[in-house]
């Protein structure tokens, strides 16, 4: 850091980094830019999206640390004797970063205190997990007067954007669903009523569905719709719901017993389960099912990691046994994927709460 402060006029480059498939290319590109613009220093920084939660934070911190070590090795490889120094840092850990604006503010503060005037971003960099933050972050940084550029990557990027491509298929799907829902709320007078009802419901339904589909088809449908696959999933979901209801009833009875028990035999623990489901909808389904089942409560989801509060040992064992997880995998990926090992067998679960007692599981 002292390098940058001693020669601030030469300028420097700031590269926010995180786990991403294109990180290696981004490092190479940042070094290339540094050589072209005679920048004296490149700072690779990891803006952190957590607060100090003890162990969790330490795990994140060591992960970020090893990421930065890797980046530093790569960068020094690319610099190869040129007059560019490489610095790394973890920033923002005294603040809670949430919006693109927060990230931009932390990055800007770091940049100005180290005399950096240029920002290179990884096109696959996604500090917010599933939330698309990159584009607004770039806009914020430009507004703060930085030269921002994205590292060009040879392979096509699959960036998640708020607006999908939409298209006729997406419009059609939303239109049909909305029209169906409209008729449902109208009590199907379109078929049961007289001629006036038919034309009235048809006209108002069509207008409503067209407006909704026009406004939402690019937001709701991200990616290419797969009607067949979706239909299969909905079918499996219909099998899943009775199972979920059974689980809910079972644990409701158990928790009722516990609440009404004079001694209140609870043993709350915070646990972490690395779930073996992939993609937003599947993780959301799993996390919501866990919360719906009394006795387990999803407190936080961080990529595949679900932080689950379990109220009593039976709930915890059920969670580690992964029955719900298996059922959600069945819904989204079919029967074959349901058979993989439980979180306990995989070693993908742990109890985070520390207790004074010995011999806890």
Measured from the CB of residue 160, what is the shortest distance to other proteins in angstroms? 21
CA 85 to CA 76: how far, in whole Å?
8
Residue 121 pairs with which residues in a beta bridge? 150
Quick check: 256 binds other proteins (CB under 8 A)? yes
Looking at residue 157, what DSSP letter applies?
A: P
* Identified binder of other proteins from the candidate list 249, 323, 340, 341, rule CB under 8 A: 249
Q: Does 255 bind other proteins (CB under 8 A)?
A: yes
CB of 53 to other proteins, least distance (A): 7
313 neighbors 355 (Cβ within 8 angstroms): no
Selected from 113, 157, 188, 203, the binder of other proteins by CB under 8 A is 188
Stretch of 34-42, 80-88, 197-205, 254-262 contacting other proteins, by CB under 8 A: 254-262
Query: In 47-99, where does DSSP find H-type helix?
Result: 55-79
Q: Does 68 bind other proteins (CB under 8 A)?
A: no
Taking the complex as a whole, how short is the minimal distance between the CB of residue 340 and other proteins, in angstroms? Answer: 25
Which residues pair with residue 14 across a beta bridge? 43, 119
# binding residues, other proteins (CB under 8 A):
43
Site string for other proteins, 338-357 (x = CB under 8 A): ---------------x-xxx
Token reading at 247: 């689980």
H/E run at residue 29 = helix 23-36
Nearer to other proteins, 25 or 296 (CB): 296
The residue from 84, 282, 311, 331 that contacts other proteins (CB under 8 A) is 311
- Interacting residues of 105 by C-beta distance below 8 A, sequence separation 6+: none
SS3 16: strand
Residues 6+ apart with CB under 8 A from 343: 273, 274, 275, 276, 319, 320, 321, 322, 325, 349
**Per rule CB under 8 A, is residue 269 in the interface with other proteins?**
yes
240 binds other proteins (CB under 8 A): no
CB 27 within 8 Å of CB 44: yes
User: CB 328 → other proteins: shortest distance, Å?
Assistant: 13
The residue within the footprint of other proteins, chosen from 52, 317, 345, 350 (CB under 8 A), is 52
Number of Cα atoms under 13 Å in the Cβ half of residue 76: 9
The β-bridge partners of 309 are: 270, 297
Pairing of the two strands 349-351 and 269-274? antiparallel
Per rule CB under 8 A, is residue 268 in the interface with other proteins? Answer: yes
Q: Is 20 in the site for other proteins (CB under 8 A)?
A: no
248 lines the binding site for other proteins (CB under 8 A):
yes
| Chain residues that interact with other proteins, rule: CB under 8 A | 51-53, 96, 184-185, 187-188, 245, 248-249, 252, 255-256, 259-260, 264, 266-270, 287-300, 307, 309, 311, 353, 355-357
């Amino acid at each position: 850091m002292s390098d940058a402060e001693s020669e601030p006029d030469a300028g420097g480059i700031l590269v926010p980094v995180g786990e991403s498939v294109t990180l290696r290319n981004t490092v190479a590109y940042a070094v290339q830019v540094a050589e072209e613009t005679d920048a004296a220093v490149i700072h690779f920084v990891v803006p952190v999206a957590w607060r100090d939660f003890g162990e969790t934070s330490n795990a994140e911190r060591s992960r970020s640390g090893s990421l930065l070590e890797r980046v530093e090795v790569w960068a020094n490889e690319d610099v190869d004797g040129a007059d560019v120094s490489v610095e790394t840092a973890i920033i923002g850990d005294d603040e809670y970063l949430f919006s693109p604006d927060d990230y931009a503010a932390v990055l800007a503060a770091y940049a100005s205190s180290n005399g950096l005037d240029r920002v290179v971003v990884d096109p696959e960099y996604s500090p917010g997990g599933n939330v698309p933050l990159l584009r607004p972050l770039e806009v914020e940084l430009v507004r703060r007067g930085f030269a921002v550029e994205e590292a060009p990557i040879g392979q096509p990027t699959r960036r998640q954007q708020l607006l999908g491509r939409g298209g006729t298929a997406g419009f059609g799907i939303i239109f049909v669903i909305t029209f169906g829902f409209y008729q449902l709320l109208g009590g199907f007078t379109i078929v049961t009523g007289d001629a006036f009802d038919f034309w009235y419901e048809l006209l108002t339904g069509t207008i409503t569905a067209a407006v909704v589909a026009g406004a939402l088809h690019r937001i709701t449908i991200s990616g290419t719709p797969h009607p067949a696959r979706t239909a299969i999933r909905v079918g499996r979901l219909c099998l899943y719901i009775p199972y979920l209801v059974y689980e809910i009833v079972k644990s409701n009875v158990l928790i009722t017993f516990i609440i009404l028990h004079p001694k209140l035999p609870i043993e709350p623990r915070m646990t972490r389960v690395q779930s073996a489901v992939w993609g937003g909808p599947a993780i959301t389904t799993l996390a919501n099912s866990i919360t719906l089942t009394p006795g387990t409560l999803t407190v936080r989801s961080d990529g595949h990691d679900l932080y689950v509060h379990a109220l009593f040992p039976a709930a915890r064992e059920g969670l580690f046994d992964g029955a719900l997880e298996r059922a959600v995998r069945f819904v989204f990926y079919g029967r074959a994927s349901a058979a993989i090992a439980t979180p306990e067998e995989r070693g993908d679960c742990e109890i985070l709460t520390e207790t004074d007692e010995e011999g806890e599981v």
